[in-house]
Structure 1
């Protein structure tokens, strides 16, 4: 087996300009700084078995104005569905903050592209099962180069689009990993829509998929949704000024792919009078205003029709979590239907949509977990629904559906 891998190593290295005699074996150490237009990196001791309990870091730097393209030629690490034990992480830049992907087992991803001239590769192994490790080639490329194997990058213009490799002439290739990092100015959010969408279908999106994350890194805690099949996801709005879109295809079936569009839009800023310079005075004034507001008699006024146009958003949904804090209730609502979105930040996982709601006065209007409501209200600068005693909230019943559908087409 070691003779076979030694031969394989030479075959992998020779096409990439590695100097030396044909029988000379490249020696790989644990980590290092790699610079230049192209180069090779591999796990410690490759093609032999990598050592246990190791942590190796490679910092890659290509010339200014270029981006790094990393292509794995061979990978054999301990296999685990979540890559919890032995794995290779690839990051944008030279810090382990903006991760492009994590890999293990024998799955060889497609070309990985950084959004700058720097990339960090880190391999970690535990004390148990090991394999022969990995070998990869890096090269410098022009930003936004659109050859078949390249995709991803940083998007920071006010609006734009992105698509899978080969779009729209042919199916996307197998074994591709793409990450688009969209960055808006502070105090703006990102609206994302997919024009066309066709990614290999699977009930759990295990093989080919698109994952969308709040922020600039792949973090399951910040994942908005994971999508596959031929139905475009509903429009997505970021919580803050960054979104990361990751596309991954395995080494089997492929499909048409997708094209997505994004645009920046301002957060809804609350209308307030100029505050006094002294912070304590502002806080006291705000507390008095809130207390006075919450001491008013709780009584719903008007009708669905009369409150529709004056509300920033109108939704129906089920209250799934509630937390009381500081006299207010912070709730999460699982959305049934959206009739008026405004600047409300809507999160989506699969077909399930949800939103965050602040009921400013916890006694008014009263909302209870597990019940369905029609909620009308305002939106704060973070995209969270803000419900005041004067806003219109009522229990949602099927008979309300017809009127709400009529109001949806109403011009305000």
Structure 2
């Protein structure tokens, strides 16, 4: 009998993997430089795959071992559909192996970047040319640009979605419109942190953790999602183990600024919209913008106290709507906190868009009140300041005191 695992190890031993290159053909293999040895530091390698015209590239990672980071900021592999300005299909690091990645045409690009501190043996992947019309039920995703439409998992609704698939729906609306997404049915392998099978939705045309709206799994349909601009990317990944029914979702374009109208008496379904800010905020914004008191004096009077990084900040009317990636929670109150993996985030409204003035990408201490929907609400007199590590000790002391 032939030991296939031994043959595979011998194949890898004889194969020499270099930093990047142009690869053509019906199928082939790609590995990080020196695989399965430790990849070198401070490198940037690019592989360009081309399969015959009329085919698409199907890529499957067999091994992944890169420096781990929640946002893949240090060592990572990017996969793009096409060679130039193609849609990014994913960024990967750590030991997570995604399902099969499929290009929209006959070209695909891989780029691996490593920083000064390396860790791991890199990656090994195989690719093959596939017929886009004969991939069967596992083919999914695409660019959606009609005013409304539907997207669903492979096999829906006859049977469970397959294992090891990767689907990307890129929805593009006219520049003066936004996109609304609603899930009619939803059943994706459940996990507390959605580490295995999951749906991620991003503002913009590509995967970017700073623009992730949410990450979803389980059997409860997510709440309706509204884009900030005219691009939205929906990603569905299934690993190689358990599967489930899947989902069907619908999207439609909406005007960028929704007019405020009176709901007719005959309406039985309450529309899901952003709660408007009361008129008193106009007068509020005319006050002098000055933080009052200290950390200590504001701690007990605040509904919530957190430290966090501003990852999105959008102006709507005279207010700013921010998503904050939480560093620490010192006082939670009724603040709504979402968790995806190890990352926790919350929504905060700055009632007066420039008071206090916050900027995306920076860290702050937030103290304020909570509205009826669980969002943090920050008025000009609430306590907000730039967060530095030296503040942490003082906040820990306050947390251990009783108000």
Tell me the TM-score range normalised by the shorter chain.
0.5 to 0.7
Query: Does the CA contact (< 8 Å) of 2:285 and 2:352 recur in 1?
Result: no
Offset, 1:193:
1.6
**Distance across 2 between alignment mates of 1:79 and 1:94:** 26
Residues 276-314 of structure 1 deviation map (CA, whole Å, 9 limit, x = unaligned): xxxxxxxxxxxxxxxxxxxxxxxxxxxxxx9656xx997
Pairwise CA distance, 1:175: 3.4
Query: Which of 155, 158, 178 is the matching residue for 1:166?
Result: 155
Question: Please, what TM-score do these two structures have when normalized by structure 2?
Answer: 0.61
Q: In the aligned structure 2, how far is the partner of 1:233 from the partner of 1:79?
A: 28
Q: Distance between the aligned counterparts of 2:139 and 2:98, measured in 1?
A: 12
Q: Secondary structure at the match of 1:240?
A: coil
1:193 aligns with 182
Q: Is the 8 A contact 1:28 1:43 kept in 2?
A: yes
Task: Write out per-residue CA displacement over residues 247-286 of structure 1, whole angstroms, 9 at most, x where no aligned residue.
Answer: 123344332111122233444599xxxxxxxxxxxxxxxx
Q: Work out the CA distance in 2 between the residues paired with 1:332 and 1:120.
A: 36
C-alpha distance in structure 1 between counterparts of 2:349 and 2:93, whole Å: 36
What does 1:260-279 align with in structure 2 at a 5 Å threshold?
Answer: 260-268=249-257
2:31 is matched with: 42
RMSD: 4.5
Matched ranges for 1:82-93 at <5 A: 82-93=71-82
State the alpha-carbon separation in 2 of the partners of residues 358 and 216 from structure 1.
29
**Superposition pairs of residues 223-262 of structure 1, within 5 angstroms:** 223-262=212-251
Q: Deviations over 1:30-67 (max 9, x none)?
A: 01122344332221123333223222111223344543
Are positions 1:8 and 2:8 aligned together? yes
The within-5 A match list for 1:294-305 is none
1:30 aligns with 2:29: no
Q: For residues 134 and 224 of structure 2, what CA distance do their matches in structure 1 show?
A: 27
Please show how residues 108-123 of structure 1 align to structure 2 within 5 Å.
Answer: 108-123=97-112
TM-superposition CA deviations, 1:164-220 (whole Å, max 9, x none)? 233223322333332211122332332212121011223332332211111101112
Rg comparison, structure with higher value: 1
* Structure 1: 5+ residue stretches without partners: 13-23, 271-305, 335-347, 363-368, 375-412
Q: CA deviation at 1:96?
A: 6.8
Pairing of 1:66-145 with structure 2 (within 5 A)? 66-95=55-84, 98-143=87-132
Give the TM-score normalised by structure 1.
0.60
Query: What is the CA–CA distance in structure 2 between the aligned matches of 1:324 and 1:94, rounded to whole Å?
Result: 49
Which secondary structure does the structure 1 equivalent of 2:183 belong to? strand
The 2-side partners of 1:133 and 1:241 are apart by 36
Q: Give the aligned partner of residue 318 of structure 2.
A: 329
Segments of structure 2 that go 5 or more residues without pairing to the other structure are 265-270, 289-316, 324-336, 356-367, 374-403
Contact 2:23–2:49 (8 Å) recurs in 1: yes
Please give the alpha-carbon distance, in whole angstroms, between the structure 2 residues aligned to 1:165 and 1:313. 29
How far does residue 241 in structure 1 lie from its aligned partner after superposition? 1.8
1:233–1:318: structure 2 CA closer, same or farther, 3 Å change rule?
A: farther
SS in 2 for 1:8: helix
Match of 1:205 among 182, 194, 211: 194
Give the direction of change, closer, same or farther, for the CA distance of 1:200–1:126 in structure 2 (3 Å limit).
same
Q: Is the 8 A contact 2:189 2:218 kept in 1?
A: yes
Between 136-145 and 216-225, report the one with greater CA deviation.
Answer: 136-145
- Residues of 1 paired with 2:6 and 2:111: CA distance? 23
Matched with 1:217 is: 206
